[in-house]
A = this chain, B = another copy of it.
Amino acid sequence: MTTSIKTRVLDRIDLAILDALQRNGRISNVNLAKEVNLSPSPCLDRVKKLESEGYIEGYTARLNAAKLGQHLVAHVEITLKSSTEAVFEVFKQHIVKIPNVVSCDMVAGGFDYLVKIRVQDMRQYREVLGQIVEIPGVGTNHTYMVIEHVKEDMGVEVLNYQ
């Protein structure tokens, strides 16, 4: 269930590969090899190894949500009625199934979960919020509508190399 915790020391070439693939996940192996000053074969070996060891979890096309009709993002703070493990479990099982839920983090502090949702419009926001508050055990909720995206990186800092 849990992923491997095994770790090894990545040298600067590995880090350069990760950085390059994070910036352009569809770069050809030949060009990637040039970028990290390696010939194609060992470069491919390293990429395969980084994939199999779990440093690289996959590759994704970044899509423009607004052009696909998803115009609104909201952050919803959820507090559960009780803090028992059973209630947490029920909430998790339901929340992951809602397709408009982009992310859901359990947090320490004034509430229990911070849920990020992406919806087409206010009508769909109400619909999704309805689905969330109807999950058994959900107490209070508070929504913060996103007015402006200032930064959206989703990348992992890898720049200890050079």
Chain A positions near chain B (C-beta within 8 angstroms): 3, 7, 10, 18, 21-26, 53-65, 67-68, 70, 73, 75, 92, 95-96, 99-111, 113-114, 118, 142-159
Complex-state Cα separation, A154 to B99, whole angstroms: 11
B26–A108 CB distance below 8 A: no
Task: Name the B residues within 8 Å of A63 (CB-CB).
Answer: 18, 22, 55-57, 155-156, 158
CA distance in complex: A100, B158 (Å): 11
Bound Cα distance A150, B69 (Å): 26
Nearest-CB residue, chain B, relative to A103:
B152
Closest approach, in angstroms, between the C-beta of A51 and any C-beta of chain B?
Answer: 9
Docked Cα-Cα span, A58 to B62, in Å, equals: 5
Picked from B59, B60, B99, B106, the residue with its CB within 8 Å of the CB of A157 is B99
